Chains A and B, each alone.
Chain A
Amino acid sequence: MSDAVVTLADGAGGKASRRLVEGLFLEELRNPMLEPLGDAALVAANGTRLAFTTDSYVVRPLRFPGGDIGELAVNGTVNDLAVSGAVPVALSAGFVIEEGFPLDELRRLAASMARAALGAGVSVAAGDTKVVERGAADGLYVTTAGIGLLDLRAVLGAGRVRPGDRVLVSGGIAEHGIAVMLARGNLELELDVESDTAPLNGLTAALCALGPELRWMRDPTRGGLATTLNELAAGAGATVVLDETAIPVRDDVRAACEILGIDPLYVANEGKLVAVVSPGSADAALAALRSHPLGAGAAVIGEIRADEDPLVLVDTPFGGSRIVDMLVGDPLPRIC
């Protein structure tokens, strides 16, 4: 965190973001429901166990290959509920709109959200709109909150992870971040990649059927797979070891990352999930993911190892290994 002001790094999802959340917000707001800092809070009320989450969307540009801010906002919150082991039920949507924003564009985005909600099997049940002066809000900001009913088959948490457990990803990484970055037009690269934004609740329900063999799930958004797995390592107090050759990345996405000097492990995804399962259930988990259209490219990418220093390591094909640290700076700002 900078000494006196917030910088873009604080919003990137990596170390600086974590410090802002833990050092400022958690300090002020501290309570048992917030403390775990999971993707969703677990709320018990009247004998029902709910998951409750919120997210803000500030992506630029508002529309990009494969999606728009509306679709992102619905899928993103659905996914935070889904990876917490919940069946998403309802969302709220708050809009902060800049004066002068075209109404037909707003209608297009709302229609997009409706389609996304239908696709995810949820309703946008409540909302709010505010309009701010020209120059503020940079067009449009969207905040969604969501509630879901906890799937009682699943008992999830980083603390449930054991040495020998396998790490799976549901498909190719880095597509969303690269698609948005290209849509900004200032890097002059052309490639046919689209955001992978998608609702993951179908995939997560399939994995929840594994019961306690499923330990932990997340959707690796800002900061990419690297950041999410560093959070896992810290939460589990164990080392995550990845096999470099097993991590799925499309050839052209990999090439774009090479040109820009960015590691795909740090690039945002919006339609992928990463899961940790027991060694005995890895085959079943992979089969469950691959039988779903969104999980066709699923792969086992690594495993958990006991270690006093929780790290994420990548084994290279040459017998060496390297640490994959948490994101420090921000390679691609305003990706989500």
Chain B
Amino acid sequence: MCLGVPGRILERVDGDLARVDFTGVRRNVNVAFTPDAEPGDWVLVHVGFALARIDEDEARATLALLGEAIAAELDASIPSDNLSRARKAQ
């Protein structure tokens, strides 16, 4: 029931509707709650409504944290002379 799926807005249709693409699946979604979302933007969709625009910067920030976690794990598990080689390969 908490099903929220990210989709990309293809175009606005009449009224509050937008055609949204979910990796090759398309559906009309009501965007009344995300009036600033434009074609090309990604939104989180729940039961046919866009609840939020996905903030690209925040998304990247979270991924960066994940990257740091991976790097820390890599550092912890590799002897120091191999470290720079591992970092270059990442």
Contacts and interface: CB of A to CB of B under 8 A. Distances in A.
**Are chains A and B touching directly in their complex (CB below 8 angstroms)?**
yes
Q: Which 3 A/B pairs are nearest by Cβ-Cβ distance? A: A252-B24, A255-B23, A190-B26
Nearest to A251: B23
A188 interface: yes
A254 B22 CA distance: 10
B21 to A, nearest CB: 9
A191 B28 contact: no
A258 interface: yes
B76 interface: no
Interface residues of A, number: 14
B24 A188 contact: no
Interface of A: 188-192, 250-252, 254-256, 258-259, 261
Contacts of A258: 3, 5, 22
Given A252-B23, A261-B3, 17 more contacts: A188-B27, A189-B25, A189-B26, A189-B27, A190-B25, A190-B26, A192-B24, A251-B23, A252-B24, A255-B22, A255-B24, A256-B22, A256-B25, A258-B5, A259-B3, A259-B27, A259-B45
Nearest to A187: B27
Contacts of B5: 255, 258-259
Interface of B: 3, 5, 22-28, 45, 48
B82 to A, nearest CB: 24
A190 B22 contact: no
Contacts of B3: 258-259, 261
Nearest to A190: B26
A52 B4 CA distance: 47
B69 to A, nearest CB: 14
Contacts of A189: 25-27
Given A258-B5, A259-B5, A261-B3, A190 B23 contact: no
